[in-house]
Chain A
Amino acid sequence: MDVEVRLFESLKKHQPEGGKVRLAEGSRISDLLTALGISTDDVGILMVNQSDGRFDRLLRNGDVVTLIPPIGGG
């Protein structure tokens, strides 16, 4: 399956070519992060299809995943 990835700020450097990642069926967000080389520690906000996501969520073909590093708050 293919998942669309939107990365912001310092995570942009992990942006895959064409903005998409091909993953095995049954993959979770945590598998996507591994494929991109991003640690969960470097993710502040995670949205899947414009809703709050979680690291153990199962992905589906066509999902849109947004990752923003922890940069808000104080």
Chain B
Amino acid sequence: MPNGYNGKILHVDLSKGSWHVEEPEEKWYRTYMGGSNFISYYLLKNLKPGTDALSPENILIFACSVVTGAPLSGFNRYAVGAKSPLTGAFAETEAGGYWAPELKFAGFDAVVIRGRAVKPAYLWIHDGKIEIRDAAGVWGLDNFQTLERLKEELQDKRIRVASIGPAGERLVLYACVQNDMEHYNGRTGMGAVMGSKNLKAIAVRGTSKMKMADPEKVKEIARWHNERIKTHPPNVGLSKVGTTGLLKGINDGGFLPTRNFKDGVFEGADKISAPAYHETIFHSNSTCYACAVRCKRRVALKHEKYPLDERFGGAEFEALAALGSLIANDNLPAVARGNQLCNLLGLDVISAGAVVAFAMECFENGILTEKDTGGRPLKFGDPDAMLWLIEEIAGRRGIGDVLALGVKRAAQKIGRGAEQYAFHIKGQELGFHDGRGKTGMALGFALSPTGADHIETPHDVAFQGDGVSKLFPMGLFDPVDPLKTDPAKMRFFFIGQKAWGINNVLNLCNFVSVPIHAMTFGRLVEAVNAITGWDVSLYELVNASERSNVMARVFNNREGFTPKDDTLISRWFEEMPSGPLKGKRIDPEIFRDLVQLYYDMSGWDAQGRPTRGKLVELGLYWLLEN
């Protein structure tokens, strides 16, 4: 038996009600390693270009990596991927928690799902055994009810469940997948793909132990890592206040998206930032498998209008911005309530907030009227309008049915000039980091194969001055200015993207891993080798990372994406209206030139297609015919 991984990929065909187990050879695992690479491998090999993302032909993949489940902080994530119904492009979205280690302990490294069940079903994977079970008892239930019901039905409180809520069942294009009500594969609409397959949940339970090549060495690295987490400043902050601590810094810097990306400063930021959060709604910390950071928050509040339940998840930075600054709402209990509604109903809170902001700006400009909303005004700063819209979207009622399509398609459907307020990249709504204050992040949003995605890209503001020394092992020695758009910034982004990509290939949490947090590049290589028994180098990990970006790019090219899709939202080409960054903008011509420079550096042609040379370098011979 191999070390670290099981050597087993489970393939399920829901149309036929059958499954089989594939046992790839070791060099396949060492080449692709996990996560986003497993997803793009199966999509490129098996999905016909042009396939409808919500048809039974789409392929849905839940992927761990060769190191997932090792007892190290942050080695607990999995990626869910398919062709995205929101963007039509390559999709992958990661989540932590306990589900991924449990799948590994149950005997599988990934689950590849095809077809559509005749009636609602869920998968039950336990110690190598597979059952496709009737989901009649849970279809229509929210995520929390589903979790509780499945524990009863399977008579095991220790099962781990990845599920969709009513929004996924009703094919809201940005429906998410969640596990244990605290961990969300939020982006790219994978909940809708699950819903389209009539697949409500995947319950897993495993009792086997993970076999590792050098368990003593893994223990030693874990002790070092966990000790460092206690004193390493970025991790100290995460342990103390989670990601809520970002809101103040980002607002003070002038790049907190506010009022549908119009502004970078929110006047109510203090009311929704870390001190207020911890004084008023904070209940307790929570964590993921084997992780010493404990960045997760639980919130509770007895409130007539905005009750909060500690079992339904606590808002993190992106949720605070999505349902707070972006819609000019400084009512913290309402923000946290909106987040819990998204969690229960199964909506990606980033896209949900962006859709609400889009609707509010349309309403304030007369593009949507009370005729469209059944008499309900939609005004920035109105928390009740936000909560109402979330329920209408998940229920696909009235205007909610249109907004369930995401801002791009909703704007097309509404017409009347709504497009000018629909902010997305490749069809996906943006995470909440204004590109005018983080130009490397802007490049990342433009060039991520999944559409705007803040997990796919370096955060350049963290590498100012001596901060850049965290990237010395990647050969980056010069600090970046977060406001510059020049070739040096592109070099930073190009190399930084490869560093971040390692985390998505190995399914590691950015909050404990390279390059910002407690793990170092050197010790990460040691950890991979102690787990797998291989002798990988940083070079090999960087190659695996680049492979994932290149394969996803080939997938998108096949689906018809071109350089014009590698772009930014119009507001970032305009001057920031106020705050510390007043007057800052990204020059569209310089931006376009940098995108071309990125293609050159990547070994892609002028149309953004990976060249024959690049495919051969990465050993992707099987893609040459594309």
Contacts and interface: CB of A to CB of B under 8 A. Distances in A.
Interface of A: 6, 8-10, 40-47, 49-56, 64, 66, 68-74
Contact of B455 (A43, A53, A74): A74
B461 A71 contact: yes
B286 to A, nearest CB: 18
A43 to B, nearest CB: 5
B459 A41 contact: no
Given A47-B465, A50-B466, A73-B516, 6 more contacts: A9-B461, A10-B253, A41-B237, A44-B237, A54-B233, A66-B466
A25 B373 CA distance: 67
Interface in B427-452: 431-433
B465 A68 contact: yes
A54 B231 CA distance: 6
B439 to A, nearest CB: 14
Given A55-B233, A69-B252, A74-B432, A41 B465 contact: no
B241 interface: yes
20 contacts: A9-B252, A9-B253, A10-B580, A40-B233, A44-B245, A44-B249, A45-B462, A45-B516, A47-B467, A53-B233, A54-B233, A55-B236, A68-B467, A69-B248, A69-B252, A70-B237, A71-B250, A71-B253, A73-B510, A74-B316
Contacts, number: 107
A44 B232 CA distance: 9
B247 to A, nearest CB: 9
A43 B237 CA distance: 8
A70 B235 CA distance: 10
Interface of B: 231-234, 236-237, 240-241, 243, 245-246, 248-250, 252-253, 274, 316-318, 431-433, 454-455, 459, 461-462, 464-467, 469-470, 472, 510-511, 516, 580
B465 A8 contact: yes
A42 to B, nearest CB: 7
Contacts of B316: 74
A69 B253 contact: yes
Interface hub of B243, B248, B455 (most chain A Cβ within 10 A): B248
B459 A50 contact: no
A72 B252 contact: no
Contacts of B510: 73
Contact of B234 (A45, A49, A50, A66): A45
A64 to B, nearest CB: 7
A73 B462 CA distance: 9
A-B CB proximity, top 8 nearest: A72-B459, A10-B252, A72-B462, A69-B249, A66-B466, A54-B231, A50-B469, A47-B466
B465 A6 contact: yes
A74 B243 contact: yes
Nearest to A50: B469
Contact of A41 (B240, B454, B461): B240
A74 B318 contact: yes
B466 A64 contact: yes
B133 to A, nearest CB: 36
A8 B464 contact: yes
Nearest to A64: B466
Among B253, B316, B467, the most chain A Cβ lie within 10 Å of the Cβ of B467
A10 B431 contact: no
Given A44-B249, A45-B462, A74 B433 contact: yes
Contacts of B249: 9-10, 42, 44, 69-71
A9 to B, nearest CB: 5
Nearest to B458: A72
**Interface-central residue, B249, B464, B469, B580, by most chain A CB under 10 Å:** B249
A54 B461 CA distance: 20
A43 B516 CA distance: 13
Contacts of B516: 45, 72-73
